[in-house]
Amino acid sequence: MKLLSRNEEIVLLAILRLKQNAYGVTIREQVSEATGQDWSFGQIYVPLDKLTQKGFVIKTLSEPTSQRGGRSKCMYTLSSTGKQALKEIRQIQDSLWDGIPEYAFD
């Protein structure tokens, strides 16, 4: 199975952190804050779509609000496979980082 890409991982983690409040706007804020760069919506939607296609996130619609011009939000939550994928990439990362001392970066 192909590993998660960096962007996908970041988006997944953002969704996880946002708990019940993960949709386009909030995900973008979260990710921009964490990385320190201003992500565009396009950069969010593309990985989101891929993740949806792979079945790592589940999409649900919320109530419409007037602030959005009467449109509802697409809320995202992780699926079990999504959580699995995150755990997997974490494991791989840990095992790669294991045993590398701090002074290796001098």
Partner 1 sequence: MRERSCPPRLAEWLFRIFLRKDDRFHRLGDFEEVFHTVFVSEGRFRAWRWYWQQIVRSVPELAMNSFYWSAAMLNNYTKIATRNLKKSKGYSFINISGLAIGMACCLLIVLYIQDELSYDTFHLNADRIFRIVASSSEDGIPTNANGIFGTGPALKKDFPEVQDYVRIRRMGQGTKRYVGYGDRKFYEEWFFFADPNIFTMFTFPLIRGDAEKALTEPNAIVITETMAKKYFDNEDPMGKTLKTDPYNSGEMMLFQVTGIAKDVPQNSHFHFDFLATYSNQKEDLTSFNGFMQNFTYILLDDASSANVLESKLLDFLKRHWREDPYYTNHLQPLKDIRLDSHLRSEIEPNGNIAYIYVFSIVAVFVLTIACINFINLSTARSAKRAKEVGLRKVVGAQRKQLMVQFLDESILVSFLGGVCAIVLVALLLPVFNSISDKTVTLHFLLRLTPLAALLGIVVIVGFISGSYVSFVLSSFAPVQTIKGVSSAGGGKRRLREGLVIFQFVLSIIMIICTLTAQKQIRFITSRSTGYHRDEILVIPLNKDVRAGYMAVRNELLKSPTIHNTTTSSYVPTRGSFHNGVTFEGRDEVLTQVLYFIDKEFVDTYGIQILEGQDIISETIDPSHSEFLISELTVTEAGYDSPLDALGKQVRYRNVQGVINGVVSNINLYSFHKEPWAMVFFVTPIEYHNYLSIRLDANRYGEAMAHIQNVWKRLIPDYPLVYFFLDASFEKMHRADARLGVIFRYFGLMAVIVACMGLFGLASFSAEQKTKEIGIRKVLGAPIISVYLLLAKSFMKWVLLANIIAWPLAYLVMKQWLDNFVYRTRLDLWIFMASGLASFTVALLTVSWQSIKAAVTRPTESLKYE
Chain residues that interact with partner 1, rule: CB under 8 A: 23-25, 28, 40-43, 45-46, 49, 61, 64-65, 67-69, 71-74
What letter does residue 5 receive in the DSSP assignment? Answer: P
Quick check: 2 and 44 in contact, CB under 8 A? no
Residue 65 region by backbone torsions, left for phi larger than 0, else alpha for psi between -120 and 50, else beta: beta
Question: CA–CA separation, 30 vs 105, rounded Å?
Answer: 29
How near is the Cβ of 17 to partner 1 at its closest, in Å? 18
How near is the Cβ of 90 to partner 1 at its closest, in Å? 27
Of the pair 62, 93, the CB lying nearest partner 1 is at 62
Quick check: 55 and 22 in contact, CB under 8 A? no
Of the pair 74, 89, the CB lying nearest partner 1 is at 74
Of the pair 70, 99, the CB lying nearest partner 1 is at 70
How near is the Cβ of 23 to partner 1 at its closest, in Å? 7
